[in-house]
A and B are shown apart, each in its own frame.
Chain A
Amino acid sequence: MSLFVPSEVDERLARLELPFNKYGLDPYGISRDHLRIAYAAVTWMYRHYFRVRTYGIDYVPARGRAMLIGNHSGSLPVDGGMVLASLFLEHDPPRHAHGMVEKFAQLWPIVSQWFCRVGQFTGLPEHATRLLEDERMLMVFPEGVRGTGKLYSKRYSLQRFGTGFMRLALRTHSPIIPFAFIGGEEAVPAMFHLKTLAKLTGAPYWPVPPHLVPVPLPVQCDIHYGPALIFEGDGTESDEIIEDYVRTVKRAIAELIVFGTNQRGISVPVSPLETIGDVERGEEGA
């Protein structure tokens, strides 16, 4: 296995600030050996397959709690893997972020095991609170499956954001780092969804791209991080205030998407700035 792990990954892994025990295991069950293989894989994709360019990495704090909030781009969550890779490869010191994963992933053998060993946990409020209070960094896509489950015709529009992430940020006094992911929509476009297969496998949807097999195309991707947003409060605010805060975050992400798509010359059917009003109350979607 060592043959396929670039020295860059080993060097960065050694500098990762996680409390590993004698067997390279942290209190949440994150394993250094698993991280090494997973980071080797995403590093290859980051460097050679998607040739990702990262902008504004300095906006991500070096230590301490933070929430990375961004758009889902493309019908498979490759964006999550690339964001993790950018924090690991571009940030100084390298940082590990915890994704908040959909519940169905825990039901699948091997997938469940790997997600647990590399610190990508089920998106439960209990997990999110505990990790933040432990000064870890969360990566949250508040659109959830609404974001990955949208079709190519709706590319780069922002779906409804849950409000749970905002109450969590206020309760734990965590800064929010907005980011935009560009290119995923072209890498894994979905023409339509297979409903029966989704039901059979327990997945929320099963995308069908024009090239038929749901494998991402080698499209260049960009990640744009924005300045931290800090909101004052304790999480008990009224829905109106919370929705207003969420719209602020959504606008910051939409502006980063507009900047990113303009830079690349990608034309979008609907400007993401026109889709920021869509915040609904009542559902914990973080």
Chain B
Amino acid sequence: MKVLIAGISGALGRMVAERCIAHGHQVIGLDKRPWPDAPKAVEMHYADIRKRPAEDLFRTQHPDAAIHMATVTHFTTPFEERYRINLNGTRAIFDHCHEYGVKHAIFVGRHTVYGAAPDTPLYCTESEPPLAVSTFPELSDLVAADLFAGSALWRWPDLKTTVMRLVYTLGPTRRGTLAAFLAARRVPMILGFDPLYHFMHEQDAVTAVMAALENRPHGIFNVAGPQPVPLSLLCKVTGRPSVTLPEPLFASVSGKFGFPKLPPGAVNHVKYPVVVDGSAFTKATGFKHDFDEVRTMESFRWAQ
């Protein structure tokens, strides 16, 4: 089938594109960022998803499916800008999907929308509300984008919509939110807390997106791989030096002394776990992960 991938130049986007080609799909890439050595089979278009050229692509190419991965997740972009890209961009993609007869839209979101709090249950199901708006206010644009994507389920029931809430990805590319956190010279931990971290191998994340693409499940799905592990063990197995801090110091060392620069809301995610139940997705698509938690951590550690 003809697949349009928005946000193709990101680490996960490139891997999904390559896997799509391997599965015999035709790939149209859309991104503002360059992908210099993109495979020849990928038809690259450099445009902003909110602008006219992006719409033209839907109008003239008539893709069968669209995978939306063009969300900004890092905190270096100003907040208003993030909101504009993440929410308006999501709106544009779903509007175009509806307008130009795309049969299946996939939103690739993240499990952190559930938020880390003392009273969040282990293994959140899709019926849990996205508490991140209060526990991690800096993530509210991603929560809004996730919920807005989900609204397509009832607004346009004819458009098959899959909202994926993926756990963190980890792997040899050393890209992504968790990888960036671990890549810092010192990984901060909060004294007296050691939350479980839920992650999957990046190739398993690609397998999950392909499972969604080829099975077209309609709904909101958590996507999880192997079991979660505590942050202390994650640091140990990935060979990252962790430093335990009393909580009041967390905000003042952010971005200094080799600690990663994180917004204040991140402290909850270093104290409490976000662990999700991915069984509904497994049931709907037959997805199974290939890498267990140990191999996933080691693949990150020993990557060149």
Contacts and interface: CB of A to CB of B under 8 A. Distances in A.
Interface of A: 21-23, 25-29, 31, 103, 106-113, 116-117, 121-122, 124, 126-127, 130
A122 B118 contact: yes
B193 A113 contact: yes
State the 5 A-B residue pairs at the shortest beta-carbon distance, nearest first: A109-B192, A106-B118, A126-B121, A110-B192, A27-B227
Task: Summarize A's interface: helix, strand, loop or mixed.
Answer: mixed
Given A29-B228, A130-B121, A130-B123, 4 more contacts: A21-B293, A116-B194, A124-B121, A127-B121
A31 B118 contact: no
Interface in B164-208: 190-194, 196
B258 interface: no
A23 B229 contact: yes
A29 B230 contact: yes
A122 B119 contact: yes
7 contacts: A21-B294, A22-B294, A26-B227, A29-B230, A110-B192, A112-B192, A127-B121
Interface string B71-100: 000000000000000000000000000000
Interface string B105-121: 00000000000001101
Nearest to A134: B123
Nearest to B272: A106
Query: Chain B interface: which size bin?
Result: 20 to 34
Interface centre among A106, A108, A127 (most CB of B within 10 A): A106
Given A21-B293, A109-B193, A28 B122 contact: yes
Nearest to B293: A21
Given A21-B293, A31-B230, A109 B190 contact: yes
Contacts of A111: 192
B273 A113 contact: no
Given A122-B118, A122-B119, A127-B121, A25 B230 contact: yes
B292 to A, nearest CB: 8
B51 to A, nearest CB: 43
Given A109-B192, A113-B192, A21 B121 contact: no
B233 interface: yes
B228 to A, nearest CB: 7
Contacts of A127: 121-122
B250 to A, nearest CB: 12
A112 B118 contact: yes
Interface in B248-281: 272-273
B229 A25 contact: yes
Contacts of B125: 126
B290 interface: no
B118 A107 contact: yes
Contacts of B122: 28-29, 121, 127, 130
Given A29-B196, A103-B119, A126-B121, A109 B233 contact: no
Interface centre among A26, A31, A117, A126 (most CB of B within 10 A): A126
Contacts of B118: 103, 106-107, 112, 122
Contacts of A23: 229, 233, 237, 294
B96 to A, nearest CB: 38
B247 interface: yes
Nearest to A123: B119
Nearest to B228: A29
Nearest to A24: B233
A110 B192 CA distance: 4
Contacts of B194: 113, 116-117
Contacts of A31: 230
